[in-house]
Amino acid sequence: MPLAAGRAPPAGLCAPRATVVRAAKAAAPAAVAAAQQLAWFTATGVPLVETLRVLTLQQAAVRCAVLVIATAVGVAFGNKLLDLAGAQMESVAERTRRSSGLPLLMGTALAAVHRPAKLLLPTYGFFYTLLVLTAFTEVALTHMDAHMHTVLHLCGSQVLGFFKSLAQVTQDTSELLLIVFAAWFLIAWKDKVVEIATTNLQEGEMDGPNFARVLVPLSNVATWGIVIAASLTTLTAFGINVQPLLAFGSISTVAVGFAAQSTMQNVVSALQIYSSRPFIVGDRIQLKSLSGSLIAAGVVESVAPMRTVLRADNKLPVFIPNKDVMNLVVVNENKMRRASVQPKMPLIEATLTLRYCDVDALPAVEAAIGNYLDTHPLVDPAISSRCVLTEFTPLGPQLALRALLVKSAAGRQAAVRSELLREAERLVRQHGAYLATDCNASAGLPAMLPLPPLPRPGVSGEFGTTPAGP
């Protein structure tokens, strides 16, 4: 039945409609939030524009001018500083190779930051200056009055939209340059640290090259981690929703983790073997179960990232996964013998025997060799080295050499010993003396024949002629 004019509708008809309107208004914010959460792209905005909008046009102009001038000065000063650092980069790299700990990290960081900063700093300065100018133009357009819109023939909204988009693009590009610089620096820093560590390991202990082989795949994994983190940060900076990608990546990571579980266990076990050092290459070991039964025995040939190789008594190689080695009892037969024979410090001891006819040159020879040991770069200056006369042997006076090397030269002890002995022999000849030789051995005579009598003053003998005294 139609309602009469001027009559209000019944309350029963208005109540459902009002309820629906209130429910729709209450659900609108939740729907908007859900839509934003499911959206793949959202504009991130330009913080500089929001800062300039609260200022007057004159204040905004002054602030933008200061930012442009500061950016230009910063780029010029940064380039000059990088040029000065580049001139000293070779000497810094040489000192870094011989350092360790905090000096190593600081030296490699300085070398790693030079190239990306040199290339990206001018580009970042250009885009940041463009961002400041674009942001000021957008703010200036918003301060225009209606007369200006009339002059533009209703094109003000289109012009304002263009500068808003341009400001957003320059903002995202500036953030992209910062992300690229950070990723480039971290990868270069990591590569330089790994390179120096690998070189030191290969020149050091016997199983150092095997440990260096472990660093290479770990370095590659770290590189991929930095690239993935930089990519996700870039997508977020551009307003792209990365939550679906993270969810998919988590599922993929779990799947790959289960598939590579055995591989990772072997690699981690190899790192534990390198750190705890239950054995080294060349040791003879026995691998036993917890009950004491013998599993394998032999000489360790190598410790690879995936397996340990033993050479059994029958000369056959035995390949054992590292995770199984860590679960077994290791009996090192060389442990006691190595502990009693090898010194804990890289100590070099040697003897030189001179001829009796060169006794007068002994003080000069002792001083020359002692000075050489004191100034050698691989000899520890904290522990005084020595070259002294110890005794008179049948062949001649005997000099004892003793020098303690620095810890970094412990892996090259044999090579340093050979170098010290060669230089000591050269210093002996430099002072007109010679090393004594066994006349029996040099003449090819039986070793049991009696030695010739020692030369008397003024008498010529096998060891030379000594001038007669007064």
Other Cβ atoms less than 10 A from the Cβ of 209: the count is 15
SS3 47: helix
Structure tokens at 76: 């010029």
Contact 267, 214 (CB under 8 A): yes
Q: What is the pLDDT along the chain (470 residues), one digit of tens a residue?
A: 444 444 555 544 444 545 544 554 554 455 444 444 445 556 667 788 888 888 888 888 888 899 999 999 998 998 888 888 777 776 766 676 666 667 777 777 888 888 888 888 888 889 889 888 888 888 887 776 544 555 554 565 677 777 778 888 888 888 888 999 999 989 888 888 888 777 776 665 545 555 666 677 778 878 888 888 888 888 887 777 767 766 666 666 666 666 667 777 877 887 778 777 788 888 888 898 888 888 888 898 888 878 889 988 888 889 999 888 888 888 888 776 554 444 456 788 888 899 989 888 889 999 999 889 888 888 887 777 778 888 888 888 998 888 888 877 777 888 888 888 999 999 999 988 998 876 544 444 344 444 455 454 444 444 444 444 43
Predicted local confidence at residue 307, as pLDDT: 86
Joined together, the tokens standing for residue 60 give 């905004």
Q: Count Cβ atoms within 10 A of the Cβ of residue 61 and give its class: 0-12 exposed, 13-18 middle, 19 or more buried.
A: middle
Report how far apart, in Å, the C-alpha atoms of 373 and of each of 347, 352, 367 are.
Answer: 13, 15, 10
- Please tell me the predicted confidence (pLDDT) of residue 73: 92
CA dist 62 and 71 (Å) reads 14
Q: Which of 135, 113, 6, 120 is nearest to 65 (CA)?
A: 135
To 10 degrees, the CA torsion angle through 70, 75, 77, 82? Answer: 160
User: Rounded CA gap, 456 and 449, in Å?
Assistant: 21
Instruction: Report which DSSP code applies to 359.
Output: G
What is the CB neighbour count within 10 angstroms for residue 398?
16
Determine the Cα–Cα distance for residues 422 and 433; give it in Å rounded to an integer.
15
Domain 347-442 has CATH 3.30.70.100: yes
Residues 187, 223 contacting (CB under 8 angstroms): yes
Question: CB–CB of 420/350 below 8 Å?
Answer: yes
Distance of CA 52 to the CA centre of its chain: 43
Rounded Cα distance, 461 and 396, in Å: 13
Using DSSP, state whether 42 is helix, strand or coil: coil
- In the numeric block, which tokens belong to residue 394? 């049948």
| Domains of the chain, residue spans | 48-259, 278-341, 347-442
**What SS3 state is found at 350?**
strand
- Please, is 348 exposed, middle or buried when counting C-beta atoms within 10 Å of its C-beta (0-12, 13-18, 19+)? buried
> Residue 254 is encoded by which pair of tokens?
């779990």
The tally of CA atoms less than 13 A away on the side-chain side of residue 140 is: 14
Query: Which of 160, 138, 155 minimizes the C-alpha distance to 57?
Result: 138
Query: Parallel, antiparallel, or unpaired for β 284-288 and 329-332?
Result: antiparallel
> What's residue 191's pLDDT?
85
Q: Can you spell out the DSSP letters for 274-332? A: HHH-S--TT-EEEEE-TT--EEEEEEEEEE-SSEEEEE-TTS-EEEEEHHHHHTSEEEE
Domain spanning 278-341: CATH 3.40.50.300: no
Number of CB atoms found within 10 A of residue 226's CB: 17
Are 278-341 and 347-442 in the same CATH fold? no
pTM, entire model: 0.49
* Whole-number CA gyration radius for the chain: 40
Q: Phi then psi for 320, rounded to 5 degrees?
A: -125, 125
Phi-psi region of 445 (alpha: psi -120 to 50; beta: other; left: phi over 0): beta
Whether 435 contacts 354, CB under 8 Å? yes
Q: Please give the biggest Cα pair distance in the chain.
A: 159
Strands 397-404 and 329-332: unpaired
* Structural tokens at position 101: 């700990």
